[in-house]
Every structure is written in C-alpha cells, then in structure tokens.
Amino acid sequence: MNREREYAKLLLAAETAVGIISVTAFCALFFTAVLCLTDVVRQSVLIALATILLLGGVFFALRLERLAGYYACKRCGHRYIPDWKPFLFAMHVGRKRYLRCPNCGEISWQDKVIDAK
C-alpha cells in the first residue's frame, strides 16, 4: 500500500470520527438544554453552542472528505478533486456525489475512489 493511499484512508477515517463526535456532542448539548435547563436564555446559549460545534464539525469533515482520494467520472473515468462550490452543494448519498466531470462535462453520480488511476 503506497503512502498516498494510506493518507487518503486515514483522512476518510478521520472524517467519520469527526462526524460521529460532532453529532454526538450536538445531541448531548441539545438534549441537556431541552431536558435539564429551565432558563430560556441558558437553553438558547447551549443550543447555539451545540449548533456552532455541529456546523464546525461538519465543515471540517467535508474538508477531509474532499481532500481524501478523488471522484471518478462514470463516463470517461477521469479522476479529480472537485472545487468547493460544486462539492458543497452537490446531492450526495454517503460519499457518492452528483457532480459534473471537468473533463467530459457529463453530470453523474460519482464514487469516491482512493487511487489516482
């Protein structure tokens, strides 16, 4: 296994860990605010903090996912790292994203792959 492949797998594992930690922290803070606190101001502050942590974690996880490996076009096989905007707003199921290939222009569901070739 070459170094780039190991690095990509590590980034994807880190993405999963960051996602799980962020969602767990959000749920813990949110339900603590809703179930344990009676003061509306404290509830609001805790929910705002939970939301900031969740958004930060999701953004960081997306950053890791984008940099790990490549997306492969189903039509021409071109492998590339998408720009931020299409990556961020593309429909997705897991790590599979609906993207336009920069090589042939085909829009398709593209899989995340580890290897450049």
| Beta-carbon-side half-sphere exposure of residue 71 (alpha carbons within 13 Å) | 25
* Contact flag: residue 76 with Zn ion (CB under 5 A): yes
> Is residue 46 near Zn ion by the rule CB under 5 A?
no
Among 63, 78, 95, 96, binds Zn ion (CB under 5 A): 78
104 lines the binding site for Zn ion (CB under 5 A):
yes
Q: Residues 18, 54, 73, 99: which binds Zn ion (CB under 5 A)?
A: 73
| Position 12, amino acid | L
Task: Determine if 107 is a binding residue for Zn ion (CB under 5 A).
Answer: no
Closest CB to Zn ion among residues 22, 110: 110
C-beta closer to Zn ion: residue 9 or 100: 100
